[in-house]
Amino acid sequence: MWGNHEIFRTKGRGICPEHVKHQTLRISEVRRHYKLTSDEANHLDAYSECRPVIGDGECFYRSFIFSYLEQVIDRQDTHEEHRLLRRVSTERANLQWNSEFSRSRRAFKELIVNVMKWKSTESTSSRRKEKLLKFFSTYDTTQDIFVFLRLLVAIQICSQRELYEPIIQGPGGNYSLEVWCLQHVIPARVYADHVMMVALARALEVPLRVESLQRGYAPDIYTGPGVPRPSVTLLYTGDHYDIIYPRAPSAESSSHQASQREHPGDQSSSHQAS
């Protein structure tokens, strides 16, 4: 049992009765569920909780945008929402994607506007979080959001060919990125891999890190433009993505980080944007 709900397995992917689980799980529960040894999972010590999401092929997109908005909704200002609205308004779709992109972008903008409304009308963090969880509880409200995020990934890949062509096509590749996106990115429920993660994080300029159960400490997939911004941390279990929450830094760790900021020449940055 994970919390109050049993985790089922469907086609190798972990799912829960809620699209986004309302109650988070302690990291120790994740360790027990996957029968991890301490040697395998030292990197998970940096995290305190996990929030499972349904394993339906949209788990990366659902985990990414929910984790991001969960942080945005607790901010006092609306700078991040306005930044996001400006950013997605400048994106232009390939002609064959225009109608779907325009429609799904409207749905995404409505979600961001709703987030701002919830912040102005709901006085407590828990009430705002309930609104967000309710929105993500049904395909009726989220399907267009996932359509938009997938199209955003496709546009990012096709508009930054010099970055993505070598990764996708490899040596001697001769197929178009548009065709590849039509097959591997745009269809609903198609599993996301590293290329899609990089493209979405870059498109929205949202810092992203994905930890793996079986590997050590993960580098950042995208670190952002240097401006403080909500960052997303996900757990990859081999065929599924869930949300994980970093532990609050201790006073000693915060002091050490402050010392590093005062003496930046002592240590070079360990993470680069992919």
* Least reliable range by pLDDT among 10-19, 69-78, 121-130, 142-151: 10-19
Task: Give the count of domains, the chain.
Answer: 1
Q: What confidence category does residue 250 fall into, taking pLDDT thresholds of 50, 70 and 90?
A: low
Beta carbons within 8 Å of 246's beta carbon, 6+ residues apart: 46, 47, 48, 233
CATH number of residue 87's parent domain: 1.20.1300.20
Instruction: Decide if 197 is inside a domain.
Output: yes
Dihedral of CA atoms 102, 105, 107, 113 in degrees, nearest 10, equals: -130
Does pLDDT of 270 surpass 60?
Answer: no
Instruction: Decide if 202 is inside a domain.
Output: yes
Tell me how far apart the alpha carbons of residues 118 and 215 are, in angstroms, rounded to a whole number. Answer: 39
What residue numbers bound the domain in which 184 lies?
8-262
So what's the pLDDT on residue 228?
A: 83
Instruction: Decide if 176 is inside a domain.
Output: yes
Using one digit for the tens of pLDDT, what is the confidence trace for 124-182? 999 999 999 999 999 999 999 999 999 999 999 999 999 999 889 765 567 789 999 99
So what's the pLDDT on residue 183?
A: 93
Instruction: Decide if 267 is inside a domain.
Output: no
Instruction: Decide if 2 is inside a domain.
Output: no
So what's the pLDDT on residue 3?
A: 36
Instruction: Decide if 273 is inside a domain.
Output: no
Instruction: Decide if 26 is inside a domain.
Output: yes
Handedness of CA 255, 259, 262, 267 (dihedral sign): negative
Instruction: Decide if 249 is inside a domain.
Output: yes
Using one digit for the tens of pLDDT, what is the confidence trace for 211-235? 998 777 788 999 988 778 899 999 9
Tell me how far apart the alpha carbons of residues 26 and 41 are, in angstroms, rounded to a whole number. Answer: 14
